[in-house]
Chains A and B, each alone.
Chain A
């Protein structure tokens, strides 16, 4: 055996092989039976080669998919290095200017925004998830699914709505003035809604469902015996939550928080409207006013590095933890019923996020929508809704397929390289949609034009643009952008399936693919549904990439809302915004009920 081969074999022999001694022994026995005379060593080599082949298949898949998905990110890196930098004078770039003026402020604002959203959405999400999982109190079953609803409301829309209500001229302050007899802003103090605090609040209200959803499924997956054990060891309910349940749900909560934080970091609509000068605002300042696409891409990359570092730190901190569940997890748990003020408090804790994140804004939207129905209704809505649905469904399905492929490849092949592929493929979420839109544009148009030039040169006809400016381009952008969300949810549910399942399936003669199909997919169905749901709803709301990449005369509900909202005509935007919410919540309700049902609680 040559040195190189040895190396390869070693690489192929992953963790899993070491663990799968049972499988190996069976195979070896079979091997001997069929080949009779072959020496044990030959068989072992052949076996290893075969296994290497298996892994190579998944290895190639993981890298192939990751390469496709990572292309737009690479394109942004390319723009950061070689894009137009708009310097008309002998330019030393825009960095010295930025660093000496607004950059420190952008960075601090972004940090504060992200930290604020993490704390607020984290606490709303974890508390409501814990309560609805562990206790019985009034409306609990409703909260179980309805706490996901705020998710269907686009962040910029909720910002418009609350500004309307809470600004000086709004009904809320108006009522206060009438009540206390004040008549000018100088008479009293009221917190400015268009502020950093306001932005944190708005974003948290629509982003906390990420945390709620993931924390809840983690709590549900925890074996009650774990908590029972902690109670017998002397923890009270609070300590049991704080010291056992919370740490063991940490990976899922971290994923939820990471998603909320990334979305907050990349939000443009809300921060722009609230005049919060975050790094995203900086990107547009540099790109549009100073004509430096290069500078904009560089800021976007810094943002991305920041996010990636954050995620890496979290993962690094729990690198030695692994948890597996057995599948029986929940059935025996009976929720203690809360009574009196405790029940009231629990209901309130779940009601408040729902009220401010969903009921109130939807109520106000409905009011506007009814009032301006004549001006805002168009028969084209059906078409817009159909476009939105087609894009979102395609994106959800594709993202799911890719997410499963990647997560499963990672499970089979625990080499560092596959792990890297997985991480790379999640980068798309770490940059603002508009920048990612450009990132998608560069490779697609590059491909189109290269193909066209080739055909023109060799066959004398032109293929024009095949991908650029099609729905396909938008779907690609969605997949790239939202893969991180799906991957997080899929990976964390797949991680919970104990490896002995794989071993058993494989020893019973299933190959890797059929094991995935017949064992893993059914087991992680709730996780898959969650992933699909989140991608779907996010895709419904996606705006900047859709605007930039869409075909002619093509509108989704989100772009239709934006048309009016961007022209300061919120009244006309209310009806289409409401339609987004309605179309968005239908699947939220259906899927969240399926998830609840699939837990088959007794």
Chain B
């Protein structure tokens, strides 16, 4: 009796193990031998799909993607030298800096890429590159404010706007990067004062995404909102949302000061990239005119390659002065900025 139950117990365990092994064996089968490149992307797969398809058509190299908003750097780190990933695509400078800090990426010294992208979009030692830029702009009510009436980030803290400002959460990476840039420009003291004033002006607790802030202007909840430039483009591009977006105008802040804060979406090659050659092909492709133009056309981001044609809509918003603060500087103050958000209780 004892022997039987021992066997049954262990056979149950075996069953379990073989179930596990079976599952993994099936899924771990290597893909067919085809030219390919593997991408870990912090950007939604559907956003990059059009360019990737174009790339595959041009080069015959298949692109495989994993998209996640958090933890890809950690996954890369844990996978170590066996990682299948070749290229990382990110939004926000913070993620790129993290990759550099953790020594997960390597320098890519390539004439084509370096020529395509202006100096300011090369990370230190070419460990990352910015592919597109997005402006952190102000949206103001067409009905309740004159054009140019609110024209700087400083105005967000101006007492005249008390109870009239909307924003998403202060610790969202886009806001953190903006605050970090202000710490770099104006120092901690001044930035904290500004952030406190900004908080005091909020019409409601920070919530939702960037589009929700534009919606809030239409809804008469607030008169001024802060958001990324491309969301406005996306709303104008959507039949239902266009009338909402038209209630707000886009203002590029600090034109008389340091210029509008710009963040980037970027790319980097992993340290142990197994398909180095294809990875390089892909990275080059992403800086070329075709892909750059598609970024502008499809996602309303500004191409980093100055030779690339922008989209009609982006052109219609006009030229504006961009803050040329190095993004490495921004990255340096990110943590401090995130703490400051907590210290002033911005989200409460």
User: Does B255 touch A at the CB level, under 8 Å?
Assistant: no
User: Does A564 touch B at the CB level, under 8 Å?
Assistant: yes
Name which of A54, A469, A559 has the most chain B CB atoms within 10 A of its CB. Answer: A469
Shortest beta-carbon distance, A552 to chain B, in Å? 4
Q: Nearest residue in B to A273 (C-beta to C-beta)?
A: B208
Contact residues in A for B345 (Cβ distance below 8 Å): 101-102, 105
Q: Are B69 and A547 in contact (CB under 8 A)?
A: yes
Shortest beta-carbon distance, A353 to chain B, in Å? 26
Given A290-B335, A548-B68, does the pair A511, B5 have CB atoms closer than 8 Å? Answer: yes
Q: Are B66 and A550 in contact (CB under 8 A)?
A: yes
User: Does A175 touch B at the CB level, under 8 Å?
Assistant: no
Stretch of A122-130, A445-453, A493-501 at the chain-chain interface:
A445-453
Stretch of B8-16, B106-114, B150-158, B192-200 at the chain-chain interface:
B8-16
Question: In whole angstroms, how far apart are the Cα atoms of A548 and B204 in the complex?
Answer: 33
Q: Nearest residue in A to B339 (C-beta to C-beta)?
A: A97
User: Does B171 touch A at the CB level, under 8 Å?
Assistant: yes
Contact among B4, B74, B220 with A441 in the assembled complex (CB-CB below 8 Å)? B74
Q: Are A105 and B348 in contact (CB under 8 A)?
A: yes
Q: Nearest residue in B to A473 (C-beta to C-beta)?
A: B24
Contact residues in A for B4 (Cβ distance below 8 Å): 511, 513
User: Does B70 touch A at the CB level, under 8 Å?
Assistant: yes
Question: In whole angstroms, how far apart are the Cα atoms of A54 and B347 in the complex?
Answer: 58
User: Does B2 touch A at the CB level, under 8 Å?
Assistant: yes
Question: In whole angstroms, how far apart are the Cα atoms of A128 and B211 in the complex?
Answer: 39
Given A57-B10, A452-B82, A553-B65, does the pair A470, B24 have CB atoms closer than 8 Å? Answer: yes
Q: Are A567 and B47 in contact (CB under 8 A)?
A: yes
User: Does B67 touch A at the CB level, under 8 Å?
Assistant: yes
Contact residues in B for A289 (Cβ distance below 8 Å): 94, 171, 173, 176, 334-335, 338
User: Does A86 touch B at the CB level, under 8 Å?
Assistant: yes
Q: Nearest residue in A to B347 (C-beta to C-beta)?
A: A277
Q: Are A472 and B80 in contact (CB under 8 A)?
A: no
Q: Are B335 and A54 in contact (CB under 8 A)?
A: no
Contact among B5, B208, B238, B342 with A512 in the assembled complex (CB-CB below 8 Å)? B5
Q: Are B209 and A568 in contact (CB under 8 A)?
A: yes
Stretch of B38-46, B182-190, B262-270, B301-309 at the chain-chain interface:
B38-46
User: Does B315 touch A at the CB level, under 8 Å?
Assistant: no
Shortest beta-carbon distance, A167 to chain B, in Å? 8
User: Does A228 touch B at the CB level, under 8 Å?
Assistant: no
Question: In whole angstroms, how far apart are the Cα atoms of A97 and B171 in the complex?
Answer: 15
Shortest beta-carbon distance, A465 to chain B, in Å? 5
Question: In whole angstroms, how far apart are the Cα atoms of A10 and B31 in the complex?
Answer: 56
Contact residues in A for B335 (Cβ distance below 8 Å): 86, 88, 289-291
Shortest beta-carbon distance, A156 to chain B, in Å? 13
Main SS of the interface on chain A? Answer: helix
User: Does A476 touch B at the CB level, under 8 Å?
Assistant: yes
User: Does B232 touch A at the CB level, under 8 Å?
Assistant: no
Question: In whole angstroms, how far apart are the Cα atoms of A289 and B215 in the complex?
Answer: 27
Shortest beta-carbon distance, B233 to chain A, in Å? 13
Given A192-B204, A277-B348, A467-B28, does the pair A61, B9 have CB atoms closer than 8 Å? Answer: yes
Contact residues in A for B169 (Cβ distance below 8 Å): 275
Shortest beta-carbon distance, B219 to chain A, in Å? 4
By size class, the interface of chain A is: 35 or more
Question: In whole angstroms, how far apart are the Cα atoms of A568 and B230 in the complex?
Answer: 12
Question: In whole angstroms, how far apart are the Cα atoms of A466 and B27 in the complex?
Answer: 9
Q: Are A185 and B221 in contact (CB under 8 A)?
A: yes
Contact among A394, A468, A550 with B79 in the assembled complex (CB-CB below 8 Å)? A468
Question: In whole angstroms, how far apart are the Cα atoms of A168 and B208 in the complex?
Answer: 13
Contact residues in A for B218 (Cβ distance below 8 Å): 169
User: Does B53 touch A at the CB level, under 8 Å?
Assistant: no
Q: Are A169 and B215 in contact (CB under 8 A)?
A: yes
Q: Are A102 and B342 in contact (CB under 8 A)?
A: yes
Q: Are A275 and B207 in contact (CB under 8 A)?
A: yes
Q: Are B75 and A548 in contact (CB under 8 A)?
A: yes
Q: Are B67 and A468 in contact (CB under 8 A)?
A: no
Contact among A58, A60, A442, A550 with B78 in the assembled complex (CB-CB below 8 Å)? A442
Contact residues in A for B51 (Cβ distance below 8 Å): none
Question: In whole angstroms, how far apart are the Cα atoms of A160 and B66 in the complex?
Answer: 25
User: Does A335 touch B at the CB level, under 8 Å?
Assistant: no
Question: In whole angstroms, how far apart are the Cα atoms of A163 and B216 in the complex?
Answer: 13
Render A459-501 as a binary contact track against B, CB cut-off 8 A, 1 for contact. Answer: 0001011111111110110000000000000000000000000
User: Does B19 touch A at the CB level, under 8 Å?
Assistant: yes
Shortest beta-carbon distance, A394 to chain B, in Å? 6
Q: Nearest residue in A to B207 (C-beta to C-beta)?
A: A275
Q: Are A285 and B28 in contact (CB under 8 A)?
A: no
Question: In whole angstroms, how far apart are the Cα atoms of A452 and B79 in the complex?
Answer: 11
Question: In whole angstroms, how far apart are the Cα atoms of A566 and B43 in the complex?
Answer: 10
User: Does B259 touch A at the CB level, under 8 Å?
Assistant: no
Stretch of A32-40, A208-216, A247-255, A398-406 at the chain-chain interface:
A398-406
Q: Are B70 and A284 in contact (CB under 8 A)?
A: yes
Render B306-322 as a binary contact track against A, CB cut-off 8 A, 1 for contact. Answer: 00000000000000000
Question: In whole angstroms, how far apart are the Cα atoms of A277 and B67 in the complex?
Answer: 26
Q: Are A563 and B74 in contact (CB under 8 A)?
A: no
Q: Are B347 and A274 in contact (CB under 8 A)?
A: no
Contact among A275, A285, A476, A569 with B205 in the assembled complex (CB-CB below 8 Å)? A275
Q: Are B173 and A288 in contact (CB under 8 A)?
A: yes
Shortest beta-carbon distance, A55 to chain B, in Å? 10
Q: Nearest residue in B to A515 (C-beta to C-beta)?
A: B5
User: Does B33 touch A at the CB level, under 8 Å?
Assistant: no
Shortest beta-carbon distance, A307 to chain B, in Å? 22
What 5 pairs across the A-B complex have the smallest Cβ distances?
A472-B24, A513-B8, A275-B207, A552-B64, A289-B338
Q: List the interface of chain B (C-beta within 8 A of A).
A: 1-2, 4-6, 8-10, 12-13, 15-16, 19-20, 23-24, 26-28, 38, 44-47, 64-72, 74-75, 78-84, 94, 98, 101-102, 169, 171, 173, 176, 204-212, 215-216, 218-221, 231, 234, 238, 240, 244, 334-335, 338-339, 342-343, 345, 347-348
Name 29 A/B residue pairs within 8 A (Cβ), A-sorted: A64-B13, A86-B335, A105-B345, A105-B348, A167-B215, A184-B220, A185-B221, A275-B206, A275-B347, A277-B348, A284-B70, A287-B70, A289-B338, A291-B101, A398-B19, A434-B70, A438-B71, A442-B78, A449-B79, A465-B79, A470-B23, A471-B24, A472-B23, A473-B24, A512-B8, A544-B70, A547-B70, A548-B68, A553-B66
Besides A98-B342, A169-B218, A291-B98, 20 other A-B contacts (C-beta < 8 A): A50-B1, A88-B335, A102-B345, A168-B216, A275-B347, A289-B171, A291-B101, A401-B16, A438-B71, A441-B78, A445-B75, A445-B80, A452-B82, A465-B82, A513-B5, A547-B71, A551-B66, A552-B64, A553-B64, A553-B66
